[in-house]
Structure 1
């Protein structure tokens, strides 16, 4: 069985599983859980870690000219992490390469994922280190699912909720094909005056994806009500997703994405992928602040 680790602050109590280093609950002092509960009728995920890829590959992930069966969003979310440290306000989990991972991703790596609380703010940080003797390309993403509607929003329905970006986002998005690849056709931005009025029809063709958003943070919630502040200062891409009708909204800072339709190049050439040299590490981070007023 996976190990469950609990960390706490005066404002929040957070539970994390060693399976995937995945959040299981984010409960405030009133006892309200702000994280999606993984109801299998809709989606069993809660906040998977996407490593070493985000999305799917068009024709297998190619490393050195050879295609590997690296699945959608990678293998970290289904892997057992070791608990490296667990103290009152933070916990660190570690995943290293094994025979199973090498079948999909032929590199020696170390992935440390840390969940840290400071009051009402939960920071998720991941550090990937190349332990191999060759350059190692890597993609990464976060995928937390927040309840929709949020706790403490009273009579407000799902459709009173908005996403408010820190800056306007006028650029068109990309259509996503039925097989999860990026199509060449543009999609009009759903952002108007920095806001998205949320409704299910936005997600009938999969996620909304900003490849280079102007914003490095946003709010999700009800105007004049409680919200969640999401900060992603060093993550260059952003996905927002749900299944129409489901009780969650995923706000997903990414550092890579799925392939374009017809892409047949090397994994290292995918958008957002970085290549680490021997011994080199890269840190990814995002922060969630719960129950704050929307500014």
Structure 2
């Protein structure tokens, strides 16, 4: 297996592991690490979610009369990607179907992840291609976890997520990993105050968000910004925000294409609400960025 690859600018150093094409580090010039480094609260750092986002009912993918076991968030995060390009500021990794993948996901596919840095910005581009003769149904999501608190001397409760557009003050509930009815959240127009209690019932799932960017902000008692991350996305209609209500020092900001199965739904995977389908020869590209 290939070693992790480092890309950098004068102000930003990023490490990407070919195992899962997963971000391992986002470090500022002053040495401050902004990506959660894994631990007992959550062992991962920024997994790629493919070919599903969230859970399927009974962890079962149904296709043409057969049932395949597919656990939460899919298998790409645990597979070794092939490095197809590497330069000082850009790395491209690729995963394609094989006998092992087709045993649990019976579709030809190619998934390419591009990580590139410019100035203080990391851009992550995901491209899914359908090289097969039939339709390719899939979901894809990003799951980066950032340190929370962003600054050691700012309390977690003095952080907010600021949306670039007004959003509804509700999120879909999560019931056993599946999607339930909407529940209220303390979102005031464009500002979501953060607290550990916010995640007592799992992630905040925001379907069809109007916003295409958020700012994750640490504020001092006088209202000034101690630190902020600017996070934006293209091609992802949905957003998840997740941590744990148990003192876990991370916050995940997750742009999604597709979501978990709704409670009570157990049909053909290709007909699952929110699933994306590519015709033979088609591809689809999604992008997210973070500026530190």
TM over 0.5: yes
Count of aligned pairs between the two proteins: 285
Instruction: Tell me, in whole angstroms, the C-alpha distance in 1 between the residues paired with 2:213 and 2:184.
Output: 21
Identify the residue that residue 257 of structure 1 maps to in structure 2.
Answer: 259
Which one is further off, 207-216 or 267-276? Answer: 267-276
- What displacement does 1:206 show? 0.5
Query: How far 1:199 moved relative to its partner?
Result: 0.5
Q: Deviation digits for residues 19-45 of structure 1, max 9, x if unmatched? A: 000000011110111000011x11111
The reply on whether 1:192 has 2:188 as its aligned counterpart is yes
Inter-partner Cα distance in structure 1 for 2:254 and 2:29: 25
Q: Evaluate the alpha carbon distance shift between residue 265 and residue 171 of structure 1 in structure 2; reply closer, same or farther with a 3 A threshold.
A: farther
Deviation at 1:80, TM superposition (A): 0.4
- Give the Å deviation of 1:65: 3.3
**Within 1, Cα distance between the matches of 2:20 and 2:192?**
31
Structure 1 190/104 Cα, relative in aligned 2: closer, same or farther at 3 Å?
farther
Aligned pairs (5 A) from 1:211-226: 211-223=207-219, 224-226=225-227
Distance in 2 between residues matched to 1:182 and 1:154, nearest whole Å: 34
Distance 2:180 2:86 in 1: 43
Check 1:138–1:190 CA distance in 2 against 1; reply closer, same or farther (3 A cut).
same
Structure 2 distance, partners of 1:49, 1:121, is 19
After superposition, the C-alpha distances for 1:5-25 in whole angstroms (9 at most, x for unaligned) are 000011101001010000000
Deviations 1:241-275 (A, max 9, x none): 01121010000000010001111222122233211
Contact 2:9 2:119 in 1 (8 A): yes
TM-score (norm 2): 0.94
Q: Counterparts of 1:267 and 1:116 in 2: how far apart (Å)?
A: 33
Distance (Å, rounded) in 2 between the aligned partners of 1:195 and 1:30: 29
- The offset of 1:222, in angstroms, is 1.5
Within-5 A mapping of 1:50-65: 50-59=49-58, 60-65=60-65
Mapping of 1:135-214 within 5 angstroms? 135-150=135-150, 153=151, 155-177=153-175, 179-184=176-181, 186-214=182-210
1:85 counterpart residue number = 85
1:96-135 deviations in whole A, cap 9, x for unaligned?
1111111111011111101010111101111111111111
Verify the 8 A CA contact 1:169 1:189 in the aligned structure 2: no
**Residue 171 of structure 1, CA deviation:** 4.8
Deviating more after overlay: 233-242 vs 219-228: 219-228
Q: Which residue of 2 aligns with 1:106?
A: 106
Which residue number corresponds to residue 293 of structure 1? none
Alpha-carbon distance, 1:233 to partner? 2.7
Structure 2 unaligned spans of 5+: 220-224
Corresponding residue for 2:48? 49
Structural RMSD (CA): 1.2
8 Å contact from structure 2 (residues 235, 285) kept in 1: no
Map of 1:287 onto structure 2: 289
2-structure distance, mates of 1:63, 1:171 = 36
Gaps of 5+ in 1: 291-295
Q: CA deviation at 1:172?
A: 2.5
Equivalent-residue separation in structure 2 for 1:2 and 1:249 (angstroms): 28
1:178-227: CA deviation from partner (whole Å, max 9, x where unpaired): x211123x201321131111111110111001011111110002242211
Q: Does 1:241 align with 2:242?
A: yes
